[in-house]
Amino acid sequence: MVQFEAQLETFAGQFQDVDLLAVQPAGRPLGWILNSDGSIVLHADLQRISLQPGLIERLQRVARRYSLLLAFDQVEQLGSSVAEFSVNPL
């Protein structure tokens, strides 16, 4: 499940506002905050989720997809009428 503008429960049982929240049924949630410069900051309990198999691969997929979507967004902002793209689920 993915939610925009949600709250991530922190280690101390408090909540952190995040721009994007990803939750897997059997896993710990991951949250991201978008900075004004376009970079993103990951918020998560990495110690706990590091025990889950496949963490590195999931984070790599997220990073690749973010980079691809950012590149597409930048091409679109240039106003190029020639560029076409589509994104399929990973």
Residue of 32 and 46 predicted with greater confidence: 32
3-state secondary structure of 42: strand
User: 56: how many CB neighbours lie within 10 A of its CB?
Assistant: 9
As a whole number of angstroms, the distance between CA 40 and CA 44 comes to 13
Please check the confidence at residue 13 and state whether its pLDDT lies above 70. yes
Which of 8-17, 22-31, 40-49 has the highest mean predicted lDDT (pLDDT)? 8-17
The answer to whether position 85 is within a domain reads no
Please check the confidence at residue 85 and state whether its pLDDT lies above 70. no
Banded model confidence at residue 89, pLDDT cuts 50, 70, 90: low
The answer to whether position 71 is within a domain reads yes
The answer to whether position 86 is within a domain reads no
The answer to whether position 49 is within a domain reads yes
The answer to whether position 83 is within a domain reads no
% the chain with pLDDT above 70: 88
Domain limits at 71? 2-77
Kindly report, residue by residue over 33-75, the tens digit of the pLDDT.
989 987 888 888 777 777 777 778 877 887 888 778 777 777 7
Q: How many domains, in total, are found in the chain?
A: 1
